[in-house]
Amino acid sequence: MLKKILIGLAALLLILAGIIATRPSEFTVQRTATLPASPDIVFAQVNDFHLWAAWSPWERLDPNMTRTHSGAASGVGAIYGWTGNDDVGEGRMTIEESKPNELARIKLEFIKPFAATSITTFAFKPVEGGTEVVWSMTGTNGFIAKAMCMVMDMDAMVGKDFESGFANLKTVVEAETKKRAEAEAARVAAAKAEAEKAAAELAAAAEAAAAAGTQPVVAQPTP
């Protein structure tokens, strides 16, 4: 009896393994959003791993995870590594391609809980109202990943993270846009105040010269 049960279990496992083996080897997850900021502001947040802590959906899964930065400060060659709890595991990201305000291509390598490699791409395009961002992830499913995909929807799971990341990124770029606008307004106001001060000083000098019956000496602008 036991032998028959074991044979039956073995047969079921073989059938299950066969089903898993026929699952798609490649996967793609993609989401698109329009963010209310210029491409240079949005691109800067993605092209520098040091800034990901403010918007990445995975950063908040383990506030105590260990983070490392190596390679270039930003752009091609920048490397970000992490080690954390079971929710984030261990892995690293490397920027392999970077076109200012247009594209960032990142190699994503998971080490734990299982080894896997995928490519994450951010494409940026100026549109009315801001910047259209296409965030995609493509990769190859190994046997374990194929088995996991039988009980979970990869598109729904990762896509939900992308959507959360977009919401966080929207908040960040809105704040940066406001900050830049305020800085520009302050610069313009300071320049205007300086010009008004110079005009007032010139007018006062002209009045004083007229009262003294002489012509004021007007400083010539420096070339």
CATH number assigned to the domain comprising residue 57: 3.30.530.20
Classify residue 76: in a domain, yes or no.
yes
Classify residue 163: in a domain, yes or no.
yes
Per the DSSP assignment, residues forming a β-bridge with 67 are 82
- In a structure prediction context, what are the per-residue pLDDT tens digits for the chain, which is 223 residues long? 666 665 655 555 555 445 545 555 577 889 999 999 999 999 999 999 999 999 999 888 888 899 999 999 999 999 999 999 988 899 999 999 999 999 999 999 988 887 888 999 999 999 998 999 999 998 766 545 555 555 555 677 778 999 999 999 999 999 998 888 788 788 888 888 888 888 888 888 888 888 887 555 555 555 5
Residue appearing with tokens 């008004």: 196
Classify residue 156: in a domain, yes or no.
yes
Closest CA to 137 of 113, 115, 159, 156: 159
Classify residue 200: in a domain, yes or no.
no
User: Which two tokens mark 125?
Assistant: 């395009």
Q: What's the pLDDT score for residue 12?
A: 56
Q: What's the pLDDT score for residue 163?
A: 94
Classify residue 66: in a domain, yes or no.
yes
Other residues' Cβ atoms within 10 Å of the Cβ of residue 120 = 19
The domain in which residue 142 lies consists of: 15-178
Q: Is residue 137 a contact partner of residue 157, using CB atoms and an 8 Å limit?
A: no
Classify residue 212: in a domain, yes or no.
no
Amino acid at 49: F
Classify residue 51: in a domain, yes or no.
yes
Q: What's the pLDDT score for residue 116?
A: 82
Q: What's the pLDDT score for residue 61?
A: 87
Q: At what angle do helices 154-212 and 39-47 cross, to 10 degrees?
A: 120
Return the H-helix or E-strand segment holding 123. strand 116-127
Closest CA to 53 of 41, 42, 67, 39: 67
Q: What's the pLDDT score for residue 94?
A: 98
Q: What is the DSSP string of 163-203?
A: HHHHHHHHHHHHHHHHHHHHHHHHHHHHHHHHHHHHHHHHH
Classify residue 111: in a domain, yes or no.
yes
Q: What's the pLDDT score for residue 81?
A: 95
Number of structural domains in the chain: 1
Q: Is residue 180 a contact partner of residue 40, using CB atoms and an 8 Å limit?
A: no
